[in-house]
Amino acid sequence: MDSKKPSHIANDGSLTMVDVTEKPVSQRSARARARLAFSPAAANALRTATLHKGDAFVAAQLAGIMAAKRTADLIPLAHPLALSHVDVFFAWEGDMLLIDATATTAAQTGVEMEAMMAASIAALTIYDMAKALDKGIVIETIRLIEKRGGKSGHWIATE
């Protein structure tokens, strides 16, 4: 077990935002993925853009981008970051929807939380728009897939 003091705990035991003052600015990026399982009927309605609420992918893409930009407002100890790019992509594996979200910045701290926030809110938006057709939609996972930059360099998740 690592005896190093946790980064978000102050000397008096209270929570604190990590001080990144002395860290160098570097190019940083992160990619997160959400996986959603649907009934065949709901998957078909999403694929053919025939949901009664409209095109779920446009709504989810915008919601994910907006969420990434608001990460520091919702995650208490996250640093506000000037994001240089955020995007949300969709792909199908059978009736399983994959939502990949990427975030990039030049900063003193990483953008993993911004990518995770984008994937999470995009997944919840899809859920909201398709729930009338399928009460059993499952958001199976939301996870970091890859990150670049900073002291830890390049990291890729293993399945």
Instruction: State whether the Cα torsion 65-71-73-79 is positive or negative.
Output: negative
HSE-up (13 A, CA, CB side) for residue 81: 31
d(CA 92, CA 126): 13
Q: Of residues 12, 95, 128, 134, which has the active-site annotation?
A: 128
The pLDDT tens digits of the residues spanning 1-55 come to: 445 766 767 777 777 778 788 888 999 999 999 999 999 999 999 999 998 888 9
The verdict on domain 27-149 having CATH code 3.30.300.130 is no
Q: Tell me the pTM.
A: 0.89
d(CA 98, CA 61): 13
Residue 84 gets which letter from DSSP?
A: S
Q: Which H helix or E strand runs over 128?
A: helix 112-130
Which of 98-119 are b and which e, b meaning 16 or more Cβ less than 10 Å from the residue's Cβ? ebbbbbbbebbbbbbbbbbbbb
The pLDDT tens digits of the residues spanning 91-147 come to: 999 889 999 999 999 999 989 999 999 999 999 999 999 999 999 999 999 999 999
**Is residue 128 flagged as an active site residue?**
yes
d(CA 84, CA 25): 14
